Structure 1
Amino acid sequence: MATYVLIPGAGGQAWYWHRLVPELRARGHDVVAVDLPASDESAGLQAYADTVMEAIGDRTDLILVAQSMGGLTAPLVCDRRPVDLLVMLNAMVPVSGESGGEWWANTGQAQAMADYAAQEGRAISAGFDAKDTFFHDVPPDVTAEAFSQEEPPQSATPFAEPWPLKEWPRTPTVFLQGRDDRFFPLDFQRRVVQERLGIPVDDMPGGHLLALSQPKELAERLETYRSSL
């Protein structure tokens, strides 16, 4: 049995993982879906890592799964305690000294997103359309549930501070990307991950919110990674 530790992206809601959690538990694993202090203006990345550490407690046999912005936090946890595997899921890959706010321009994310939209024949609206960008492949009932909730706040504090590690932790790391992600397109992630981590990017069907759109398939991919340890 493994312990899957699920670290959400911006907004910090454990709810994001609610369709994946039962899939992993049905396969016999312990699962910890973490709520991050996203609304706390005083909380930076170290506080996010503290929150994950507290949620883990004394559990062992850890597999961390980091969604999107969660990629800034998960390596900090790996630097503090033994982790069997880090799965970066449609994630931001930081480098030492770069803030999360600088990541966007440094990687060219906005241009990559625009280029991918043009490639698909889509127009990007003047205002950011979360439903079109994030939920285009999420089932309508799940999308309705998400939008029935108050929009989770996300403090700018974690994006303002330099990423603190000198180098990537020695934890075995894999990268899994939704090939239909409109926010972080696949080709963009392949370039960034190769430049920053020097590892390949695996892909699967689905957009940015794979745990909502493809929970069973995602669980199967995670189990494949686990069985190869």
Structure 2
Amino acid sequence: MATFVLIHGAGDAGWYWHLVEAELRAHGHHTVAPDLPCDDDAAGLTEYADTVVTAAGDRTGLIVVGQSLGGFVAPLVADRLPVDRVDLVAPMIPAPGEAPADYWANTRYEPAGAFDDVFYQDVPAGLVAEAARHARRQSEARLGEPSPLRAWPDVPTRVLLCRDDRLLPPDHLRRVARERLGVTPDEIDGGHTPALSRPGELAAYLTGSAGAGSGWRCR
């Protein structure tokens, strides 16, 4: 069985993955979902990756999953651990040496529109309230620093986009995935936070395998 190393997005916590973790564990898999030091002004991408690597420990059979800003952290972790696969979910997909703060201009980002809610539009109200209790401040103190990523790691990589994502719209992610990784993303319905709105569907995707040409960047 695999160990899923789950990396949350900006201003969030490992709690974000709790429903997906329950699904994965019910099928015999192991999970690790650490809290990144996102509210620490002294922490940058290297420290985020340090946190994940420490949490993973000496586990094997690792599948690294990065959500949103976690897409910047996932390849750094895959460079340092014996990883079987990287899955990027509704992700920011970094270029080597890119600062997170520069991602938007570098990818020619255009918002899908003006919305009151770009994160939880399809999440049950009770979970939205609980997510708010777990939310943390996202420090921007070091998001302007270049990523230590030199090249995408030599690890099979999949990209999953959400067709109703208001933060990272499908057309944007399709183009960025093609330009930066040379893949066509896999797709599911739903908004930016599928671990809360569609945990079963997301867990099924993570434990499955896509066919050639449907979201894979292979070795």
1:58 is matched with: 58
Give runs of aligned pairs for residues 175-214 of structure 1, distance below 5 A: 175-214=159-198
1:68-112 Cα shifts (integer Å, max 9, x gaps): 000111100111121001000011111122211011111122x2x
The equivalent residue for 2:123 is: 138
1:158 is displaced (CA, Å) by 4.1
Give the counterpart letter for 1:204 in structure 2: I
CA-to-partner distance for each residue in 1:14-35, whole Å, 9 max, x for gaps? 0111111100000100111111
- Residue 144 of structure 1: CA displacement? 2.1
1:11 aligned residue: 11
Q: Which runs of 5+ in 1 are unaligned?
A: 118-123
Aligned length: 213
Structure 1 residue 223 and structure 2 residue 187: aligned? no
Q: Judge conservation of contact 2:12–2:135 (CA < 8 Å) in 1.
A: no
TM-score, normalised to structure 1, is 0.88
| Identity across matched positions, percent | 50
**Letter aligned with residue 164 of structure 1:** P
Question: 1:64-103 residue pairs with structure 2 within 5 A?
Answer: 64-103=64-103
Unaligned runs of 5+ in 2: 213-217
Query: How far apart, in 2, do the equivalents of 1:150 and 1:69 lie?
Result: 17
Look up the equivalent residue of 1:210 and give its one-letter code.
P
2:155 corresponds to 1:167: no
Distance change in 2, residues 1:199/1:55 (3 Å): same
Task: With the length of structure 2 as denominator, give the TM-score of the two structures.
Answer: 0.92
Compute the displacement of 1:8 (Å). Answer: 0.3
Q: What code does the residue aligned with 1:177 have? A: L
| SS at 1:84 equivalent | strand
Distance in 1 of aligned mates of 2:93 and 2:174: 11
- Report the more deviating stretch, 151-160 or 2-11: 151-160
More helix by share: 1
The Cα of 1:226 is off from its aligned counterpart by: 8.6
Q: Report the AA paired with residue 61 of structure 1.
A: G
Q: CA RMSD in A?
A: 1.8
Answer whether contact 2:15 2:134 (CA < 8 A) is retained.
no
